[in-house]
Structure 1
């Protein structure tokens, strides 16, 4: 089955051709004869319920979003996966804030395009977001309404191995400060590029990591494990037995050196809720880091009282004489109903209400199209690049083709943005 045509999936077996299975009725009959019980229906119902209440948290170092169309390419790539909250490292955007549609929040430097962290949110996560705190260009935290408790997620981007010990200690002090601002009742999850190798030996660290780590441990890895011990955290990446290519999260350009440095940590009392955690090498964003996703048996809550969206009026339609005349007639009628004896404050409110009623009754709403400015051609090139990523280790020819497509995608996205800006300018001139 073509990888590009697959629907978003969780962990486990991918959708595809599967062999025949015994009918549920036959399974129940055999089970009843053997054990005297029939729990087939109960088990199936429970599994469906667990799948529905699964929260998927992730981390990914994309190396940069400071290139034309990179965020749109990230959104397009994540359509291949089921996710709720994904921490993004090396955003390289300045300032802090959120995108207009609210699916991406970030925290960066004031002026330089260095470091930067953020969260990519699903539609459900956007609705459950209670607030976020852009601490620095290395740390951002967000709080979500969930069941059975609210969830606080902290995403980090640790200093590289070339940084000094002072930088490392300052980084962990900043995390300590961020932890003090979280509610003690919240379920705490930490994601990020920790630039630390914790290895696969958990002899002295069984409370904070499992026995399925990867590679060797370094000093930065020991520092991370000490931090996890103090705060009763557990490294989810080490809990499950996976193939090596589902463990390591970073690879050198030549593919020789591989490390597990992008990690997801959760409070130890909630580690039994973690059902899987693995790396996805198929995810492609032109980065030497891989996407890590973790499934947790938690549920984001839906807001009961959604804020009503304001009516977007096309003011330019008032230039039409018929609409203008109709607007004037209705507004005059509405103004006559206002009593002159009311107070100044009430008078102002009634005038505002009269204008609002008149606009809704006479002026057509503004039609907005939610089409991304990036072209279909660029997205097709990105999908082809994704396919070649899986083949680049087969031969040198595929490697060269992959590098060539990386350049083509960047060039095509840059041209798309230039065309979009030009179209916006032309539309503004017409208005």
Structure 2
């Protein structure tokens, strides 16, 4: 399993394309949750939880085919935590589907906000205004998904951390 090569607590999985829900507990104590895709075979999200946190799992729910929610119970000094796992539509999708995704995400976030991880299929270019202070200085261009993600970040006032680090060009996978 590739995950054993890295140090992690929770890994968000995008687009496993499963027709049926799947949950497994491995001999190592790691726990895997996979949600389902839509009727076109698109989407689905899941999480892999490391042994160190698996005892704190309260629940994993697939809220839509593109949004999942992992809830972890409070344990000692570690507070209760909610993590949203997402797989946003690519720029090939209709604007209505992209907008519906962000409306769902915003609604779920307002109900129970903490962390969102996943594949937003977004390119967020350099800062254009002061309000876009969540943007890093390393991306060169924007796409429509980047515009929408930027709106979501400014509306919900969440912290966006991935753009603060420069990745080599071959490691940038969004189109």
- The interval holding the TM-score normalised by the smaller chain is 0.7 to 0.9
Name 1:82's counterpart in structure 2: 7
Distance, in Å, in 1 between the alignment partners of 2:169 and 2:115 is 21
Q: Alignment partner of 2:154: what SS?
A: helix
- 1:217 lines up with 2:139 in the alignment: no
Kindly tell me: are residues 140 and 203 of structure 1, through their superposed partners in 2, closer, same or farther at Cα, counting changes over 3 Å?
A: same
- 1:196 lines up with 2:122 in the alignment: yes
Name 1:168's counterpart in structure 2: 98
Kindly tell me: are residues 181 and 96 of structure 1, through their superposed partners in 2, closer, same or farther at Cα, counting changes over 3 Å?
A: farther
Conserved 8 A contact 1:106-1:118: yes
Q: Alignment partner of 2:162: what SS?
A: helix
Give the CA deviation at 1:208. 4.8
Greater helix share, 1 or 2? 1
- 1:227 lines up with 2:155 in the alignment: no
Q: Please tell me whether Structure 1 or Structure 2 has the larger radius of gyration of its CA atoms.
A: 1
* Matched residue count: 170
Distance, in Å, in 1 between the alignment partners of 2:100 and 2:120 is 14
Name 2:71's counterpart in structure 1: 143
Alignment of 1:40-51 (within 5 A): none
Give the CA deviation at 1:246. 7.7
Name 1:245's counterpart in structure 2: 168
Structure 2: where are the runs of 5+ without partners? none
Structure 1: where are the runs of 5+ without partners? 1-75, 251-258, 262-431
Across the aligned residues of Structure 1 and Structure 2, the Cα RMSD in angstroms comes to: 2.4
Give the CA deviation at 1:111. 5.7
Conserved 8 A contact 1:209-1:234: yes
Kindly tell me: are residues 238 and 206 of structure 1, through their superposed partners in 2, closer, same or farther at Cα, counting changes over 3 Å?
A: farther
- 1:128 lines up with 2:52 in the alignment: no
Distance, in Å, in 2 between the alignment partners of 1:220 and 1:210 is 14
Distance, in Å, in 1 between the alignment partners of 2:94 and 2:41 is 21
Alignment of 1:301-320 (within 5 A): none
Distance, in Å, in 2 between the alignment partners of 1:163 and 1:112 is 13
Distance, in Å, in 2 between the alignment partners of 1:247 and 1:122 is 28
Conserved 8 A contact 2:124-2:135: no
